[in-house]
């Protein structure tokens, strides 16, 4: 276990140094207006690519680690830009893109995993992550991007609202819970046998069950002293999927109404100007 932790730490350090160097080289060659917020935004895009690769390889521990890092950069770049007045045009364009690239890409990767589309314990498939849910998430992002470009192209301010931040928070929570569920071998059904807690899969094929769990899952088993955390993760994950879809639809509707009002006021101002001139 100690050797695994050391190797994991070295990999994290190597990847972090590589990413930092890559961002520095790209920003220098492209002559980008780089400051701390813009650097964090570019790092988030690179972290997102690593998360996609880790999910594809089934390395869910690494996927969780880099996804959490990406989510932290999302908070830090906005806070830093506002607090130290380092808002740039590049940041206003790339920050929303990085968010959408991360969230939409992760959900596309997750929906392709069979264990998230159906439950081995017999729960209905419609309770799990379904393609239409991902379509709703991506469709909302495309809609808001189009509306923001139209409004801000006309000189309006279409900054993020609090419902959008709550939407992002719930989406991140859903992704982390899904990755935790997968890190435990996508099994949550725990039963007691001879005074010991065993997953149902451990009754039938214990050698495969041990291989499916990740280091993080074993750590949770040891730290919590029970495997029931898997059951809590499973049901919380299901709730987070549906809450995410609900707040995604609600935020899309809220932004759309806000945009319609802004466009209407802009038209009224233009009509008033036209009347005064004539």
Enumerate long-range contacts of 196-205, CB under 8 Å, 24 or more apart.
197/226, 197/227, 197/228, 198/227, 199/227, 199/230, 200/121
pLDDT tens column, 217-249:
777 777 766 777 888 888 899 999 999 999 999
* Residue 196, H or E segment: strand 196-199
Is the pLDDT at 112 greater than 70? The verdict is yes
Is the pLDDT at 210 greater than 50? The verdict is no
Residue 266, pLDDT score: 78
Output the 3-class SS for 25-64.
Answer: HHHHHHCCCCCHHHHHHHHHHHHHHHHHHHHHHCCHHHHH
Cut 0.85: pTM above it: no
Please state the separation of Cα 278 from the chain's center in Å.
53
Q: Above pLDDT 90, what percent of the chain?
A: 30
Is the pLDDT at 122 greater than 80? The verdict is no
Q: Give how far Cα 119 sits from Cα of 40, 127, 161, 188, 196, Å.
A: 37, 9, 36, 10, 24
Q: Above pLDDT 70, what percent of the chain?
A: 72
Is the pLDDT at 254 greater than 70? The verdict is yes
| Better-scored residue on pLDDT, 60 or 150 | 60
Locate 64 and state its tokens: 């969780």
| Separation of alpha carbons 48 and 35, rounded Å | 20
Lowest mean pLDDT among 105-114, 132-141, 181-190, 255-264: 181-190
Lowest mean pLDDT among 58-72, 177-191, 249-263: 177-191
pLDDT tens column, 175-201:
999 999 888 766 665 555 545 555 545
């Amino acid at each position: 276990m100690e050797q695994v932790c050391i190797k994991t730490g070295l990999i994290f350090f190597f990847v972090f140094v590589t990413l930092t160097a890559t961002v520095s080289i790209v920003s220098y060659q492209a002559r980008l207006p780089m400051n701390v917020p813009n650097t964090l935004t570019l790092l988030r895009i690179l972290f997102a690519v690593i998360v996609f690769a880790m999910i594809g390889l089934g390395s869910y521990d690494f996927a969780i680690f880099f996804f959490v890092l990406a989510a932290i950069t999302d908070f830090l770049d906005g806070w830093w830009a506002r607090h130290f007045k380092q808002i740039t045009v590049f940041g206003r364009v790339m920050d929303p893109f990085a968010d959408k690239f991360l969230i939409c890409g992760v959900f596309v990767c997750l929906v392709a995993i069979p264990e998230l589309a159906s439950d081995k314990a017999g729960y209905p498939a419609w309770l799990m992550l379904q393609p239409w849910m991902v379509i709703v998430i991506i469709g909302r992002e495309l809609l808001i991007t189009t509306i923001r470009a139209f409004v801000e192209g006309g000189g309006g301010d279409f900054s993020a609202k609090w419902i959008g931040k709550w939407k992002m928070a719930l989406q991140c929570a859903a992704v982390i819970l899904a990755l935790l569920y997968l890190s435990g071998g996508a099994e949550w059904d725990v039963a007691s046998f001879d005074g010991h807690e065993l997953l149902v899969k451990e009754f039938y094929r214990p050698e495969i069950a041990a291989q499916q769990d990740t280091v993080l899952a074993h750590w949770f088993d040891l730290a919590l002293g029970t495997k029931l955390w898997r059951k809590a993760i499973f049901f919380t994950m299901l709730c987070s999927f549906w809450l995410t879809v609900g707040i995604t639809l609600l935020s899309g509707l809220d932004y759309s109404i806000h945009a319609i009002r802004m466009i209407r006021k802009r038209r009224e101002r233009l009509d008033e100007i036209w009347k005064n001139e004539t």
